[in-house]
Structure 1
Amino acid sequence: MEDLPAGLPDHDLRAGLARFGITGPPVYAPVGFGDYHWTVHDRWFTSVSDLTTKPLAGLRQAMETAASLGEQLPFVVAPVRAEDGDTVVLLNDRYALSVFPCVTGESGSFGDQVPAGVAELLTALHSCAPPASCPVAAIDVPGRDVLARLLDEPGEWFSSQAREVFVAHTEVVRDKLAELDQLAGQLTDELVVTHGEPHAGNVINTPAGLRLVDWDTVGLAPPERDLWLIGGDSAFYSLRWAVNDIADFAVSLRAPHEQSRDAELTLHYFTETLKNL
């Protein structure tokens, strides 16, 4: 995210870092899209999640799972534990903090070609014993109920431009939801530990080999949940990705928000995803 999070004073962030035994000035890192990040002393990389869009219970499950996987698999960049053992620390009633070791290396961006070696990492991940904390990844789009209601009655939106493009594509979205249901019935029953988003932006090429970051989407699911992002064939998961983005972006663009660079990017991605359905 390029904008700083609203409603997170610096002293709340520093107090959260202190629970990990970390002191020193946090430096904002405008990378990724969704969470907010800072580095401290080039040793620690922080991820701050907005609990209005990412429920705390699910985040804790994911981080506990990632911590367990990090004990089994060397390529997992896992969260460190706070002094009380927690992997997720509340900063206030809206934001939660996780901390990771900084990893030196090169990463790509979403849409870039995924390094060939990621296939081997996913084979190891899909073969490992699932940690007890590992959640089952949802098959349906989490925001589907909201999306369905908007298709019937779009109502008022803070972003009138977003509303206009959504209304112009309502029939396409309806058709894609029906297609998603049909494709879901063709999924395999096999469930393995999946990363959820092993695209090039979540892969770091380090001197010690490839590393996978950003484990908040980890969950038990068919292997295709990961494999379509590295060139595999899954009509269901590629369509689900697009529909999920539309649902998430619609919620953000309907609600009151600042006119900012992040809002501009959200509108851009929303519009392009709808046009490319």
Structure 2
Amino acid sequence: MFTPPEDLADAEVAAALIWGWDLDVEGIMHAPVGFGSHHWWVRDASGRRWFATADDLRTRRRHHDEPLDAPFARLRAALATAASLHGAGLRWVVAPVRSDDGSVVLRLHESFALALHPGVEGDTFGWGPYEDAAHRDAVVNRLVELHAMEGCRDDVMEDDLTVPLADELRTHLDDPGPRWGAGPFAADAWELVRDHADTVRALLDRYDALVAGADRTRFVLTHGEPHRGNTMVTPDDGVVLVDWDTVLLAPPERDLWRVVGEDPAIRGRYEGGTGVALDDALLEAHALRWDLADVAVYVRDLHAPHVDDEDTRTAWAGLRAAVTATR
């Protein structure tokens, strides 16, 4: 997230790193990167850099009243799988460092979960299509390797193929109620949801139809979000993937819809290298799911009490772009 959390201070994060990982914290600074988790750059007394991530479990609920233990369990399963993959020799998996008691993530208060990663030196990238074909091809090679992994499945959860918060989104689409007024973007969001309700509802129905016949015997280990912003190019390991909090056993199309959309030739390369034929319906479904999940999160955030900050401005711009685009 771009804005530091109001209910989690830097000092509390530092104290948790000292207690959980016995890290001799010399400095800590919130890093305004990404959208979804909170991040901090950390420096220990030896000068080594670390990267701490705190996830607000309240924002990871799949429905509004889901107990917070459920998103915590999903996060722990994903990060434990990443740690197993790295331990199995996939050095390009930037996995969390286990705490002193062997945990990959620690609970902070009731609402946050903290993970610690080693600082990685290399080139970073922003959101958007891959600008370099060699970079994209290297990521596809990583995905081929990941999808071929038969082990490291002790902790991983299986994708249920639903859109998070879809039930709440459908409720707003069916009846947005009186004009929203809990924040500076609420009224405009209400109007957008009201005016585009039929379109978004039809897309939700389309997604459900596309995944209805998914063959679960095809499921493989997937990263979930291997876009350009979740990659780095490092001196020692070449292209590495970060942000493994979305790992699931899922259709291979979950990792491939975006890169195939950027370069259709990748489909043939992947199919030739793996012997797995990609499913057109699932490629479309996962592209659609990405947009619908964003819409659901943005509607939740802008319907709730909020202020005008970089995060809510990003949510409003994202909602407007998503619901007015045609697929």
Please, what TM-score do these two structures have when normalized by structure 1?
0.96
Aligned equivalents of 1:92 and 1:47: distance in 2?
Answer: 15
After the TM superposition, which residues 159-178 of structure 1 pair with which residues of structure 2 at under 5 Å, given as runs? Answer: 159-178=186-205
Structure 2 residue 49 is matched with structure 1 residue 47: no
After the TM superposition, which residues 113-192 of structure 1 pair with which residues of structure 2 at under 5 Å, given as runs? Answer: 113=130, 115-128=136-149, 129-156=151-178, 157=180, 158=182, 159-189=186-216, 190-192=218-220
Structure 2: unaligned runs, 5 residues or longer: 61-70, 261-266, 268-279
Q: Deviations over 1:198-223 (max 9, x none)?
A: 00000111112110100111000110
Structure 2 residue 5 is matched with structure 1 residue 5: yes
Q: What is the Cα deviation at residue 186 of structure 1?
A: 4.7
> Could you tell me which residue of structure 2 aligns to residue 223 of structure 1?
252
Structure 2 residue 99 is matched with structure 1 residue 82: yes
Q: Deviations over 1:120-153 (max 9, x none)?
A: 1001100102421011123010211111111111
> Could you tell me which residue of structure 2 aligns to residue 210 of structure 1?
239
> Could you tell me which residue of structure 2 aligns to residue 199 of structure 1?
227
As a proportion of its length, which structure holds more helix?
2
Structure 2 residue 125 is matched with structure 1 residue 108: yes
Aligned equivalents of 1:267 and 1:151: distance in 2?
Answer: 17
* Preserved contact between residue 172 and residue 193 of structure 2 (Cα < 8 Å): no
Q: Which has the larger radius of gyration?
A: 2
What amino acid is aligned across from residue 137 of structure 1 in structure 2?
Answer: D
Q: What is the Cα deviation at residue 74 of structure 1?
A: 1.3
Residue identity (%): 39
Which one is further off, 118-127 or 15-24?
15-24
Q: What is the Cα deviation at residue 94 of structure 1?
A: 1.8
* Preserved contact between residue 84 and residue 152 of structure 2 (Cα < 8 Å): no
- How many matched pairs? 277
Aligned equivalents of 1:39 and 1:90: distance in 2?
Answer: 19
Aligned equivalents of 2:110 and 2:204: distance in 1?
Answer: 34
Structure 2 residue 321 is matched with structure 1 residue 261: no
Q: Deviations over 1:153-199 (max 9, x none)?
A: 11353211111111111000111111112211353430100000000
Show structure 1 runs of 4+ deviating over 4 A: none
CA RMSD of aligned residues (A): 1.4
What amino acid is aligned across from residue 10 of structure 1 in structure 2?
Answer: D
SS for the counterpart of 2:249 is: strand
